[in-house]
């Protein structure tokens, strides 16, 4: 039987990963607190709406960002930690400039400068312009790890729900299907094509594996995981069974 293996959220887009034991989902909304904030770069400005990922600080542009871990505190502050930058706790609603100052030493000088920390719209600020969460397979990670000759950390892929008990790449055939996890129902919309952030070690922030080349050479694509909409809300816990409807 397929089951939820891990639950992750990323409170600030591209900046920090946070493990969860359970999460309450609502129909038509993203995973709560996931990509709820995003740090603009260059000339990009807050529009109050969804924006393309190219407007924000993220791992494919600043590899060291991939080594940041996150924890959302009970009072709404976000605690961040990085092996070189140390630790910081920020209120994202009022301390965006302080966050940018902390991130700046990790941000490549040749990239557009860091700007304003903005709140995501209701649909979130994932790489898709609609409210969704990402679902990935542990068996696919094992197959890719074997092909790469390296034990790949799941954090490379910035996923929300990791599922165990599938065949490798089984989840890539789910677009158009529905899933049930307890009382939650999801509609799988599309595959996720990957970027260079997956080539970066989340322990060190250094690029060390050519995941995209291996995917193309071995399987003929750069897809890993799928995006899904929440049709019916409820609570998901680690180890909960997953059923393809």
Q: Of the residues 102, 119, 136, which one is the last residue of a structural domain?
A: 119
Q: Is the same domain home to 153 and 170? A: yes
Q: Is the same domain home to 216 and 102? A: no
Q: What is the pLDDT of residue 138?
A: 98
Q: Is the same domain home to 19 and 41? A: no
Q: Is the same domain home to 237 and 150? A: yes
Q: Is the same domain home to 140 and 106? A: no
Q: Of the residues 91, 119, 147, which one is the last residue of a structural domain?
A: 119
Going 42 to 46 to 51 to 57, the CA torsion angle's sign is positive
Q: What is the pLDDT of residues 113-132, one digit of tens each?
A: 999 999 999 999 999 999 99
Q: Quote the pTM value.
A: 0.96
Q: What is the pLDDT of residue 39?
A: 98
Q: Is the same domain home to 132 and 114? A: no
Nearest to 156 by CA among 118, 114, 217, 211: 211
Q: Is the same domain home to 136 and 19? A: yes
Q: What is the pLDDT of residue 52?
A: 96
Q: What is the pLDDT of residue 197?
A: 96
Q: What is the pLDDT of residue 57?
A: 98
Q: Is the same domain home to 182 and 206? A: yes
Q: What is the pLDDT of residue 177?
A: 98
Q: Is the same domain home to 200 and 107? A: no
Q: Is the same domain home to 180 and 209? A: yes
Q: In the chain, helix, strand, coil percent, each to 5?
A: 20, 35, 45
Q: What is the pLDDT of residue 45?
A: 97
Q: Is the same domain home to 149 and 168? A: yes
Total domains, the chain: 2
CA distance linking residue 36 with residue 198, whole number of Å: 21
CB 155: neighbour CB atoms within 10 A?
Answer: 23
> Domain holding 148: CATH number?
2.40.33.20
Domain hosting 233: range is 2-30+128-244
Q: Of the residues 119, 140, 163, which one is the last residue of a structural domain?
A: 119
Q: What is the pLDDT of residue 144?
A: 98
* 178 neighbors 167 (Cβ within 8 angstroms): no
Cβ-based neighbours of 47, under 8 Å, separated by 6 or more: none
CA distance linking residue 69 with residue 66, whole number of Å: 8
Q: Is the same domain home to 137 and 106? A: no
pLDDT block averages, 10 residues each, the chain of length 245 = 97 97 98 98 97 97 97 97 97 98 98 98 96 98 98 97 98 98 98 97 96 98 98 98 97
């Amino acid at each position: 039987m397929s089951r939820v293996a891990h639950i992750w959220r990323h409170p600030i887009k591209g900046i920090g990963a946070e493990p969860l034991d359970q999460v309450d989902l609502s129909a038509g909304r993203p995973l709560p607190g996931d990509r709820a904030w995003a740090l603009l770069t260059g000339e990009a400005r807050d529009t109050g709406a969804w924006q393309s990922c190219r407007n924000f600080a993220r791992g494919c542009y600043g590899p060291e960002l991939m080594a940041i871990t996150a924890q959302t505190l009970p009072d709404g502050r976000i605690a961040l930690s990085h092996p070189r930058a140390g630790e910081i706790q920020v209120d994202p609603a009022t301390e965006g400039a302080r966050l940018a100052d902390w991130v700046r030493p990790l941000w490549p000088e040749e990239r557009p400068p860091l700007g304003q920390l903005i709140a995501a719209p209701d649909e979130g600020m994932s790489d898709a312009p609609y409210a969704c969460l990402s679902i990935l397979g542990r068996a696919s990670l094992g197959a890719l790890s074997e092909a790469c000759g390296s034990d790949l950390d799941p954090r490379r892929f910035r996923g929300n729900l990791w599922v165990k008990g599938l065949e490798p790449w089984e989840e890539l055939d789910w677009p158009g299907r529905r899933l049930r996890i307890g009382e939650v129902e999801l509609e799988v919309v599309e595959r996720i094509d990957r970027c260079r952030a997956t080539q970066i070690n989340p322990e060190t922030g250094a690029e060390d594996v050519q995941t995209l080349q291996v995917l193309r050479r071995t399987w003929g694509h750069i897809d890993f995981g799928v995006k899904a909409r929440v049709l019916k809300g409820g609570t998901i816990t680690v180890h909960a069974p997953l059923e393809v409807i």
